[in-house]
Amino acid sequence: MARILDGKRVRDQILDELRPRIETLRRGGRPPGLAVVLVGNDPASEIYVRGKVKACEELGIYSEQHTPPASISTTELAALVDSLNRRPEIDGILVQMPLPKHVDSRAVLLAVAPEKDVDGFHPLNVGHLVNGRPAPRACTPSGIMEMLRRYEIPVSGQRAVVVGRSDIVGKPMALLLLHAHATVTICHSRTSNLAGECRQADILVAAIGKAALVRGDFIKEGATVIDVGMNRITERAEAERIYGTSSEKLAELDRKGNLLLGDVHPLEVSARAGAYTPVPGGVGPLTIAMLMSNTVEAAERRLP
């Protein structure tokens, strides 16, 4: 029986470990401060931001939201970010993605001061990651490394395959695994014999954004499978293709109008893997936990 890797459990451990550090900062003069910039009214982004603000409130981190209209220009948004860079009580700045199409996302991310880049997306921080130097790390990959460490899953000397090459997950994930002494392969949409490459993995990270793409025959017997995917399906035919005649899942689709699904086939993974992260409840909770961790570390680094 495959072991389920519980992201909520790891999240709670991380947050509990942050509380005394936050209290020390408060006693030293002020709590850590996080500013979140949410442009426009994207419903999914609003949900994500609410979760981040709630986590700050529960931990005692000062937070504030800036909600400029979707019509804001790149220049205006960069100016807002620069004003946050100059405020000493703000330790971390998060610009919620995606931004409207007319906004130059790269220019806005570059406007964030590297020491306040708690998402770990600034090119300077990416460069530090490549060199193995201390700096904010991308939240989802660093959360996955915490998951592996806390469940005592060996990384050093293992073969790891990362499916997906995004700047947010795939590339930093591969670098973190490499720094932990894994032998790493990166796969993507143009990889030939994807299933064969994946079957070599002792640790398989699926982050390509396609529902149930990774099937049972992609998975080496006993491998650890980390599912980063967050896909919503709405078509009954697709649900039936994945879940068969599961009355529970089909009823959930009828009730909600959609189903949340990872990049790994949810029924086939448990038959092959030694351990895996479910969707939901696996990787998702770790992302916000590591954002909180990056914010606290940023505040600690800025102590006089």
Note the pLDDT of residue 245: 72
Residues 59, 258: Cα–Cα separation, whole Å: 32
Based on the fold, state whether residues 151 and 85 are members of the same structural domain. no
- 203 assigned to some structural domain: yes
Same domain membership, residue 73 and residue 167: no
Q: Is 158 a catalytic residue?
A: no
Say yes or no: 112 and 162 in one domain: no
The number of folded domains in the chain is 2
Domain assignment of residue 253, given as a range: 139-286
Three-state SS at 35:
strand
Q: Virtual CA dihedral for 288, 289, 291, 295, nearest 10 degrees?
A: 140
Residue of 96, 158, 171, 227 with catalytic role: 96
Whether residue 212 sits in one domain with residue 164: yes
CATH code: domain of residue 69? 3.40.50.10860
Reported pTM: 0.94
Amino acid 55: pLDDT: 95
Rounded CA-CA distance 195/79 in Å is 46
Is residue 217 domain-shared with residue 82, that is, in the same domain? no
Does residue 167 share a domain with residue 71?
A: no
pLDDT score at 107: 96
pLDDT value at residue 14: 97
Is the domain of 57 the same as that of 91? yes
Strand pairing report for 3-4 and 92-95: unpaired
Task: Give every residue of the chain whose pLDDT is below 50, as ranges.
Answer: none
Question: From CA 93, how far away is CA 89, in angstroms rounded?
Answer: 11
Asked if 157 and 256 sit in the same domain, the reply is yes
54 is catalytic: no
| Residue 91 falls inside a structural domain | yes
Residue 195 lies in a domain: yes
Q: Which candidate in 52, 116, 220, 249 is catalytic?
A: 52
Extract the runs of DSSP E, i.e. beta strands, from 170-247: 183-187, 203-206, 224-227, 231-233
Catalytic residue among 91, 116, 117, 119: 119
Tell me: do 193 and 259 sit in the same domain.
yes
Whether residue 8 is contained in a domain is answered as no
CATH number at residue 278: 3.40.50.720
Give pLDDT, residue 118: 97
In a domain, 186, yes or no: yes
Domain co-membership, 109 together with 244: no
52 given a catalytic annotation:
yes
Query: Is residue 229 assigned to a domain?
Result: yes
Q: 91 and 148: one domain?
A: no
124 inside domain: no
The beta-carbon contacts of 182-191 under 8 Å, at least 24 apart in sequence, are 182/155, 182/156, 182/157, 182/158, 183/157, 183/158, 183/159, 184/160, 185/159, 185/160, 185/161, 186/161, 186/162, 187/161, 187/162, 187/163, 188/163, 188/164
Residues 144 and 243 in one domain: yes
Residue 150: C-alpha distances to residues 46, 100, 142, 218, 243 (Å)? 31, 38, 12, 25, 31
304 located within any domain:
no
